[in-house]
Amino acid sequence: RMLEMARQLRVEKEREENLTQQKQEQKNQLFHAEQRLHRVQLQLKDMRHAAVDSKPESLMKSLEEETKFNTYLVSEKFPRELETKKQSLLLLQKVVAEPAMGQSDLNELES
């Protein structure tokens, strides 16, 4: 009888853990869905605003600005960031390649 009750308690605890995990996953999914909804609502607002101001000249100007920005990202910003990350990676690889300091090395540094 006691063993059966202990088994049932264990089963219920596992079930509770699973439900708690499912609840957390659903909260995360809801959060991400709300973020997506917010982004889409902003896009819709922007598109409606653009449709009101849909003169060919203003659309062309907007596209030119977007193209300039994307060109800047591709030709200047991203290559600079990539180079910085490569330098950091090289430095970290050098640190990893160094042998670990032993007690004798630490004693030598102290004296």
Residue 85: the pLDDT is 96
- Which residues constitute the domain of residue 1? 1-54
**pTM check: above 0.75:** no
How far apart, in whole angstroms, are the C-alpha atoms of residue 71 and residue 68? Answer: 5
Residue 100: the pLDDT is 76
Note whether 77 and 28 are same-domain residues. no
Instruction: Indicate whether 53 pLDDT > 70.
Output: no
Note whether 17 and 60 are same-domain residues. no
Residue pair 70/58 in contact by the 8 Å Cβ criterion = no
Note whether 36 and 74 are same-domain residues. no
For the chain, give the percent of residues with pLDDT over 90: 61
Which residue has better confidence, 84 or 61?
Answer: 84
Residue pair 80/88 in contact by the 8 Å Cβ criterion = no
pLDDT of 64-106, one tens digit each? 999 999 999 999 999 999 999 999 999 999 888 887 777 788 7
